[in-house]
Chains A and B, each alone.
Chain A
Amino acid sequence: QKEVEQNSGPLSVPEGAIASLNCTYSDRVSQSFFWYRQYSGKSPELIMSIYSNGDKEDGRFTAQLNKASQYVSLLIRDSQPSDSATYLCAVTRGSTLGRLYFGRGTQLTVWP
């Protein structure tokens, strides 16, 4: 079983819609969760981190964490064509010297 699994995608939504990106993880002791955005040909950049169960909002982005279900999601409200990118989910595992475990990413396309 992979450490971190994401919707295989690609995901395509119209401009203005809500994009929902999902991620499950295998290790119950994972404590820190991250969403990165990666534009084609560029390196990943952090969008949000979340550490506690519940929702965390930052502008148009909301991260949701459910540790009991081992599930973390990212909602993008009012999606824009500039949100078109690959979104990577990453989690920590116990005491792993700062290592993150990444999913393979979900490619999102927002069409005008």
Chain B
Amino acid sequence: DVKVTQSSRYLVKRTGEKVFLECVQDMDHENMFWYRQDPGLGLRLIYFSYDVKMKEKGDIPEGYSVSREKKERFSLILESASTNQTSMYLCASSSSSGTQYFGPGTRLTVL
């Protein structure tokens, strides 16, 4: 079974803090993705990576950065957290077949 894990299920941070969300997959997938999901807005792609050290902006990259130093690990960084970044963050990975497998999600609250 494909397994995608995320570092935290719930996270509470304060405005202005630097926040790291980590994602690890164990299937040697080339592609990894970070989404946020908000009620009524669906899944929105923040960033994705198709190889180590490679990244592409998604639809809403502002306020975020990413890092992929190893194939199995993809990190999302909020440089200075703001209240409008309170959301559910979902990581996914995929192989060349295109099927994406999601992690359990991190519910981030920024106070």
Contact = CB atoms under 8 A, between A and B. Distances in A.
Contacts of B74: none
Contacts of B50: 97-98
Interface stretch (A12-20, A52-60, A73-81, A100-108): A100-108
B56 interface: yes
Interface string A61-100: 0000000000000000000000000001010100001111
B12 interface: no
A100 B42 contact: no
A29 interface: no
10 contacts: A32-B97, A43-B104, A46-B100, A46-B101, A90-B100, A97-B31, A98-B94, A98-B100, A102-B43, A104-B41
A40 B84 CA distance: 21
A11 to B, nearest CB: 16
Interface of A: 32, 34, 42-46, 49, 88, 90, 92, 97-100, 102-105
A97 B102 contact: no
Interface in B74-111: 90, 94, 96-105
Contacts of B26: none
B19 interface: no
B98 A104 contact: no
Interface in B21-54: 30-31, 33, 40-43, 45, 48, 50
Contact of B102 (A32, A43, A105): A43
A45 B102 contact: yes
Residue from A43, A97, A104, A105 having most chain B Cβ neighbours under 10 A = A43
A98 B98 contact: yes
B48 A102 contact: no
A98 B30 contact: yes
A99 B30 contact: no
